[in-house]
Amino acid sequence: MTEGLGSWKRTHTCGALRAADAGTTVTLMGWAHRRRDHGGLIFLDLRDRTGLTQCVFNPAASAAAHGRAEAVRGEFVLAVRGAVARRPDGTLNPKLATGEIEVHASELRILNEARALPFPIEDEVEVDELVRLQYRYLDLRRPSLYRNFALRDAVCRAVRDHLHGHGFLEVETPFLTRSTPEGARDFLVPSRLSPGSFYALPQSPQLFKQLLMVAGFERYFQIVRCFRDEDLRKDRQPEFTQIDIETSFLGRDDFLALVEGMVAEVLRRVHGVEVAAPFPRLTYGEALARYGSDKPDTRYGLELADVTALFRGAAFQAFARVVEAGGVVKALRVPGAGGLSRKEADDLVTAARSYGAKGLVWVKVTPEGLASPVAKFLEPVRPALLEALGAGVGDLVLLVGDAMPTAALVLGRLRSDLAQRRGLVPTAGYALLWIVDFPMFEWSEAERRWQAMHHPFTAPRDEDLPLLEGRPAEALAKAYDLVLNGQEIGGGSIRIHQQAIQQKVFELLGIGKDEARAKFGFLLDALEFGAPPMGGIAFGLDRLVAILAGEESIREVIAFPKTQKGSDPMTEAPAPVSPAQLRELGIGVLDLGKDR
RNA sequence: GGGCUCGUGGUGCAGCCUGGUUAGCACACUGGACUGUCAAUCCAGAGGUCGCGGGUUCAAGUCCCGUCGAGCCCGCCA
């Protein structure tokens, strides 16, 4: 019953025809979106990626075409030939771009049939994500999802055009490379030619892009897949895409200006939005103090306050001891939230604990005074506390006493939880923000050693170089993150381009001379052969596109994403391989059984 | 590694708390009717290992334990 295209050529897409086309004979191709069979007349909405066109089959006009249309079912692939006609008065459909016209079909070819679908091809149908992923090729037929990929394409094109226009070269770097210490868990690939040895898939092209700068390429970029074997989230996939950029001979501010131009170009081209450059900047210390986050959403207020001084030697022992030990007391005033129930208050305490706080003090400001489990201890500082926060009757005040940065981070997360729950987050608009002056190192209590906050190749600020001897905790880095609406969309730094400083940083990170030589020898060598000053950034493309598309999850902007367990329900990857394949690679699989 | 939520015809859900008729509804699907619909309408029909395994009970979709899968979160993600 199905047939080929023959000599037919598609003349128009299904989203193209307008009233002005009335009278032309056209050939459309696409999928049978919906069929309305009136016994005599059959209406058939033909869909391609551009839209819908109503085709009318009239037995009086063409009995053959009408006969074939009777057999058409959902998602059959069709070619329709006929004359464009203005729709009769009263039958125009304002919901369709093509709603002023219809095609009076004279010929119909059924190019392929389709089984009954597991779910309808419609926007806003709620289908279990597992089923969507099993039939992803059907899921992707939904117009809203197609739009996400058109948007993703437009973002990539804007990035490429902008960077090419500024002298950048797109260069590919290896996927099969070597495992490096620090950072995320590596995906490993066994080597057949060197049994027992493994490649690692890159967590990012970090080292290679620096080597391209040593090579004198000056301006490099790549839209490139990166791999990290960590647990998944709605904004984290094991393979994801970065816009990776590196430049030579640019200081931090010149580089940031260049990046701002690119981001502005993207927003202009995909959304027609003009953003003002330079973007606002906040130091890491300020962001932490004011918002309790290194990626604050500045579209709403709810800033934190520091009330440490009020609790020094205070009656409230829990806080007094924290202050004594060098900790801080941070406060968050939530205007008009004083009406929360006991359960809501308890939930806040539970959340605060899960975020790492030892506890959370909540205070309702009522006409009768303070309502709180610890109200009587707070009474002595009540006037000072209310004044410091500008709090009044009806407000809720949250207090966390702890070491920095814990106290601020806990309140920062409660701040964003509460803003969301109370509907304070604007749904439109873009708040772009640079966070700068990150610390070079953070202390890992678990490993009892310093860790690089950004990565081990990040340069310290010139004025902080001396701090590397003895006071590394105070050294700040030439690192920067770009934050969009409270999400980190990019991060980078000016790199160390002098071997001696790189060696010193490795030392502080507990990477000994021999280990550094063994794992990064090629980089250390390169730094001795005339490395230019360099710096760069990497954007999380998936996150950026998800935000621009208004999607919660990056899975909505990745064509074939993985589930939270890292599997693909369609291909059923990962899957076991044959013993022969393993033998060839010199690999045996351990039986880890129940209790590994 | 841990916490929470979910799993019932193809899809989305109800039934579970308080065990006991033939597991119900909507959409999709199949057949029929219908010449202006656009979520077409009307009539009829088919379709279920209630994720899987075990237990309690006279009796389990329902209660208990385990397990698998999905989602969200904590840890993790330089």
Counting beta carbons within 10 angstroms of the beta carbon of residue A181, is it exposed (0 to 12), middle (13 to 18) or buried (19 or more)?
middle
C-alpha A152/C-alpha A556 separation (Å) is: 11
- Return the C-alpha torsion angle A310, A312, A314, A320, nearest 10: 120
C-alpha A118/C-alpha A131 separation (Å) is: 8
In order along its 596 residues, chain A shows pLDDT tens digits of 688 999 999 999 999 999 999 999 999 999 999 999 999 999 999 999 999 999 999 999 999 999 999 999 999 999 999 999 999 999 999 999 999 999 999 999 999 999 999 999 998 778 999 999 999 999 999 999 999 999 999 999 999 999 999 999 999 999 999 998 778 999 999 999 999 999 999 999 999 999 999 999 999 999 999 999 999 999 999 999 999 999 999 999 999 999 999 999 999 999 999 999 899 999 999 999 999 999 999 999 999 999 999 999 888 999 999 999 999 999 999 999 888 888 788 888 988 988 989 889 999 999 998 999 999 999 999 999 999 999 999 999 999 999 989 999 999 999 999 998 888 888 888 999 999 999 999 887 777 788 899 999 999 999 999 999 989 999 999 999 999 999 999 999 999 999 999 999 999 998 888 888 888 889 999 999 999 999 999 999 999 999 999 999 999 999 999 999 999 999 999 999 999 999 999 999 887 654 43
From the CA of A423, how many Å to the C1' of B18?
38
Q: What does A512-550 look like in DSSP terms, one character per residue? A: -HHHHHHHHHHHHHHHTTTPPPEEEEEEEHHHHHHHHHT
C-alpha distances in angstroms, A441 versus A31, A449, A506? 57, 10, 11
From the CA of A412, how many Å to the C1' of B3?
21
Q: Element (H or E) spanning A415, and its range?
A: helix A406-421
Statement: the CB of A456 is under 7 Å from strand B: yes
Query: What number of other Cβ atoms are within 10 A of residue A469's Cβ?
Result: 10
Counting beta carbons within 10 angstroms of the beta carbon of residue A210, is it exposed (0 to 12), middle (13 to 18) or buried (19 or more)?
buried
What residue has token string 């006037």? Answer: A383
Class of domain A300-425: alpha beta
From the CA of A593, how many Å to the C1' of B5?
28
From the CA of A303, how many Å to the C1' of B6?
36
Smallest CA–C1' separation from A60: which nucleotide? B35
Alpha carbons within 13 A on the beta-carbon side of A5: 8
C-alpha distances in angstroms, A36 versus A69, A105, A107? 10, 15, 18
From the CA of A117, how many Å to the C1' of B31?
19
From the CA of A135, how many Å to the C1' of B21?
39
Residues 6+ apart with CB under 8 A from A566: A232, A238, A574
Statement: the CB of A229 is under 7 Å from strand B: no
C-alpha A493/C-alpha A284 separation (Å) is: 14
Residues 6+ apart with CB under 8 A from A79: A5, A8, A10, A27, A28, A29, A108, A109, A111
From the CA of A135, how many Å to the C1' of B68?
21
**Helix A143-165 × helix A541-549 angle, to 10°:** 130
> What are the DSSP E strand ranges found in A210-349?
219-227, 239-248, 281-283, 304-306, 328-334
pLDDT of residue A594: 43
Label each residue of A347-406 as H, E or C.
HHHHHHHHCCCCCCEEEEEECCEEECCCHHHHHHHHHHHHHHHCCCCCCEEEEEEECCCH
pLDDT of residue A592: 65
pLDDT of residue A347: 84
Listed by start position, the domains of chain A span: 19-112, 147-281+433-557, 300-425
Q: What are phi and psi of A207, to 5 degrees?
A: -70, -40
Taking Cα atoms as reference points, which of A13, A39, A40, A11 lies closest to residue A26?
Answer: A11
* Bases of chain B with protein Cβ within 7 A: 1, 10-13, 27-30, 33-41, 69-78
C-alpha A483/C-alpha A412 separation (Å) is: 15
Statement: the CB of A73 is under 7 Å from strand B: yes
Residues 352-411/A with CB within 7 Å of nucleic chain B are 354-356
C-alpha A157/C-alpha A149 separation (Å) is: 12
What's domain A19-112's architecture? Answer: Beta Barrel (2.40)
What's domain A147-281+433-557's architecture? Answer: 2-Layer Sandwich (3.30)
C-alpha A333/C-alpha A415 separation (Å) is: 9
Alpha carbons within 13 A on the beta-carbon side of A442: 12
C-alpha A129/C-alpha A145 separation (Å) is: 13
Residues 6+ apart with CB under 8 A from A303: A290, A291
Smallest CA–C1' separation from A562: which nucleotide? B70
CB-based contact A135:A118 (threshold 8 Å): yes
CB-based contact A460:A440 (threshold 8 Å): yes
Q: Is the pTM of this model over 0.90?
A: yes
Statement: the CB of A95 is under 7 Å from strand B: yes
Taking Cα atoms as reference points, which of A262, A170, A130, A149 lies closest to residue A542?
Answer: A149
Coil, strand or helix: which one is A440? coil
C-alpha A4/C-alpha A576 separation (Å) is: 40
Statement: the CB of A120 is under 7 Å from strand B: yes
C-alpha A542/C-alpha A556 separation (Å) is: 9
How many angstroms separate the first and last alpha carbons of chain A?
A: 57
Statement: the CB of A131 is under 7 Å from strand B: yes
Query: What number of other Cβ atoms are within 10 A of residue A218's Cβ?
Result: 17
Give 3-state DSSP helix, strand, coil % of chain A, rounded to 5: 30, 25, 45
Residues 28-47/A with CB within 7 Å of nucleic chain B are 34, 36-41, 43, 45
Query: What number of other Cβ atoms are within 10 A of residue A159's Cβ?
Result: 23
